[in-house]
Amino acid sequence: MSKNYDRIENTTVWSPGPGCHGGCGVRVFLKDMPDGQPAKVVKIEADPCHPWNQGRTCSRLLAYTRYLYHPDRLLYPMKRVGERGEGKFERISWDEALDTIESKFKQFREESGAESVIFVQGTGRDINAPLTFLTYAYGSPNLSQLGLSGQSCYTPRITGACMVDGTLTVADCSQFFEKRYEDPRWEVPKYIVVWATNPGVGCPDGFQGHWVVDCMKRGSKLIVIDPRATWFSSRAEHFLQTRPGSDGALALGMLHLIIENEWYDKDFIDKWTQGLPELRERCREYSPEVVERLTWVPKEVLYEATKAYATNSPSAIHWGMPIDMNPEATTVAQAIAMLWCITGNFDVPGGNVAARGAFGIAMWPINQSQVLDTYGAEFLEKINDKRIGAKEFPYVANTRLYIQPDLAVEQMLTGKPYKIRGTYIQTSNLLGGNAADLNKHYNALRNMEFNVLVDLFHNPTTMAVADIILPAACFTERNSIRVWHTPAQVIRKLHEPLGEARNDWEINFELALRFDPKLREKYTKLEDFFDEKLKPSGHTFESLKAIGGWIFEKEGVSVPYKRYETGLLRPDGKPGFATPSGKVEFYSLNHEAWGLDPLPFYREPPESENVTPELMKKYPLVMVTGRRSPVYFHSEHRNIDWLREVDPFPIVEINPKIAKERGLKDGDWCIIENDRGKFTRKVMYNISMNAKCVSVPHGWWPPEEEGKAPHYFGAWKYNCNKLVLSQVGSSSGYGGGAYKTVPVNVRRAEPGEIERLGEEIR
């Protein structure tokens, strides 16, 4: 049998394509084409020799050719020629597109300051570094995941946990070693706490779900904390089925039991921590009886699960995005980080380890210290003076330097304290994906004078608000590097892009040089930037590509364990932690200085049975949004036929008893509603669903429906975020997006009601 390819090339995955957070090694089968045409990707398989994924891959990657060669893919720059929403665009050249963007944004900068443009990113695609590079080259202080209430994706977890131990920390599944599970330095976790995530079907940041399964095969037991039963909960020794939004109370209840029963690591506590007496007093408020009432977790289950974790070292905690969506999410992250610290499970084999970029490389200056090192104190002071939310919220000013998105959308509508005139939106279909209170964000974006979108397909956001659309390249069409967390890797262009699509990096690099011509003195081409970043590894982009595309650090900042003993976790090189005291802080000195509570605490969701009981009588079910699908990534891939066949409909998971009480059969279309609106979903019976909750995937916009106004691919018909409260949900400024705690009712649809849902746009 003859083969249908000419060669096999290896590379590293990062979106566009599978949509994910990347890191997997793959083998790409290519057929060379005649007459100078780009080589054709025939198929993709996982690379069994790559240490990150070890021959595993996802269905999205296996369907990559259906994405790459999709007939609806955007391949040329376009400008709007009709009214917004009419769906009328015409093809233009790259020169015209970039000249128009340069002219408009320079006009805004000269007339209203660089702060008048917000630069917006989504998740997944390799975008943090190129968008930050562009944002600061333009001079804007306003970088954001606009639409995502509270910046409630990883930022609250990272920043809140850093108040405790000073660093980003992840569950240790041997991913920091080239030999992985065979490395003698690693130890199998005795327990893995899978907290508010379903890692087998999602794509966690810098983490692979199958690693948990690999550890289970080697003896790890599971403790699962989740409102929704999952594959992992069915195999857990302890399953804590929580009330949505109560994770903070649960963590404080676990700390209470650990302290009162002295299940903590006394040596580590004495030498490396401060604030335990104050924490002990705070935790007295969270007895098992109180926590049972707040979380729905029986006190006996809480006791046994806590004891299992605390008395079996090493054990690890792997957490998910719902933590970020808790009220006061940063303090919830504080409390959970204290669990791995108080038990001595910090930066030890099989515990939670400090996750540093390979060779200490930081691809983008996103936190305060990195911006200070890269741009200097004057620049940092300048952007904090204008950055939306920096004056109101200490985390926004002093940790990760994003804006506060809920304040931003209000400012886009009101023009106060200064006018926002334009947006640059890259990797974000916010109207079809993450925007809470859809109408508010729709009106805010329509209020802009000029919106640039960089994407691969039309979606509700491009159709509703785009003035210029730039076509992005897929991952096999582009060069990039990845140092998140280790190894250092290259993503290499294997064929020329289709049409005139361009690498996100190349687009932003060219615009950055136009906005800041001094950069041309430093970089003549994009690879110069990559070489500069890779310098600590001893490699250039080309030399790393030549040795196979990836390399682990043998010793240094990205190699665990117990780096707090050797000074690798502090910028001054002294032993200890990157906190004001140099120790793990159960009592946060940063919080004390910023006027925040130095100790973790629990706050109820803004709408709940304990805060708004009358509202809950009207809308008695709690809707948990964001249930992940193994074949989609956020709002992507509904147009990929192989994947849509697996998961064809927007659904709502509901306990059969509750559904039948409402006259709903499995497979019926229903109405889900509250005072903010309503949308439709197809009923899916799930006997394991708590009878007080329903669960829905987010990001649904069937591309086969009409894309022009007022339909926008059905976004106003199917989008669960119409019902999500949009408000500042955390005193820190980060976290608290109420996506998991939405009071709703579910009922049968009236005749013609579903067809009229698009009329709600206002």
Phi-psi region of 70 (alpha: psi -120 to 50; beta: other; left: phi over 0): beta
pLDDT band at 368 (very low <50, low <70, confident <90, very high): confident
Residue 330 has pLDDT above 60, yes or no: yes
Q: Is the Cβ–Cβ distance between 734 and 740 less than 8 Å?
A: no
The tens digit of pLDDT for each residue in 415-431 reads 999 999 999 999 999 99
Distance of CA 465 to the CA centre of its chain: 24
Domain match, 658 and 630 both:
yes
Is 123 a member of any domain?
yes
HSE-CB of 661 using CA atoms within 13 angstroms: 10
The tens digit of pLDDT for each residue in 545-565 reads 999 999 999 999 999 999 999
For 98-176, list the strands marked E by DSSP.
117-121, 143-144, 169-171
Rounded Cα distance, 77 and 93, in Å: 6
Rounded Cα distance, 465 and 452, in Å: 9
Residue 538 has pLDDT above 70, yes or no: yes
Is 60 a member of any domain?
no
The tens digit of pLDDT for each residue in 668-708 reads 999 999 999 999 999 999 999 999 999 999 999 999 999 99
CATH code (residue 273): 3.40.228.10
**pLDDT score of 307:** 98
Is 120 a member of any domain?
yes
The one-letter amino acid at 190: K
Domain match, 619 and 745 both:
yes
Q: Is the Cβ–Cβ distance between 497 and 113 less than 8 Å?
A: no
Q: Is the Cβ–Cβ distance between 292 and 249 less than 8 Å?
A: no
Domain match, 114 and 257 both:
no
- Strand 651-654 and strand 669-674: the pairing is unpaired
**pLDDT score of 762:** 61
Q: How far is CA 556 from CA 359, 485, 560, 567, 569, in A?
A: 7, 13, 8, 11, 10
Domain match, 205 and 264 both:
yes
Domain match, 188 and 118 both:
no
Domain match, 93 and 144 both:
yes
- Which SS3 state, helix, strand or coil, does residue 276 take? helix
Distance of CA 231 to the CA centre of its chain: 22
Is 738 a member of any domain?
yes
Q: Among 2-6, 266-270, 307-311, 328-332, where is mean pLDDT lowest?
A: 2-6
Q: Is the Cβ–Cβ distance between 115 and 142 less than 8 Å?
A: yes
Is 6 a member of any domain?
no
- Strand 677-685 and strand 651-654: the pairing is parallel
CA dihedral 48, 54, 59, 65 (to 10 degrees): -40
Share of the chain above pLDDT 90, in %: 92
The owner of tokens 């709940």 is: 608
Residue 679, beta-bridge partner list: 672
Is 455 a member of any domain?
yes
Split into its structural domains, the chain has a count of 3
**pLDDT score of 306:** 98
Is 732 a member of any domain?
yes
**pLDDT score of 279:** 98
CATH code (residue 617): 2.40.40.20
Average pLDDT (460-475) is: 97
Helices (H), 343-388: 368-375, 377-386
Domain match, 350 and 366 both:
no
Q: Is the Cβ–Cβ distance between 473 and 497 less than 8 Å?
A: yes
Element (H, E) at 154: none
Quote the DSSP letter at residue 632. -
Domain match, 88 and 143 both:
yes
Domain match, 636 and 742 both:
yes
Domain match, 182 and 304 both:
yes
pLDDT band at 352 (very low <50, low <70, confident <90, very high): very high
- Which SS3 state, helix, strand or coil, does residue 16 take? coil
Q: How far is CA 246 from CA 242, 253, 322, 733, in A?
A: 7, 11, 10, 19
Q: How many other CB atoms are there within 10 angstroms of residue 146's CB atom?
A: 28
**pLDDT score of 2:** 63
- Which SS3 state, helix, strand or coil, does residue 29 take? strand
The tens digit of pLDDT for each residue in 237-272 reads 999 999 999 999 999 999 999 999 999 999 999 999
Domain match, 729 and 751 both:
yes
Q: What is the extent of the structural domain holding 437?
A: 78-151+362-476+500-525
**pLDDT score of 22:** 85
Share of the chain above pLDDT 70, in %: 99
Rounded Cα distance, 746 and 683, in Å: 10
Is 35 a member of any domain?
no
Domain match, 449 and 431 both:
yes
The tens digit of pLDDT for each residue in 182-219 reads 999 999 999 999 999 999 988 778 899 999 999 999 99
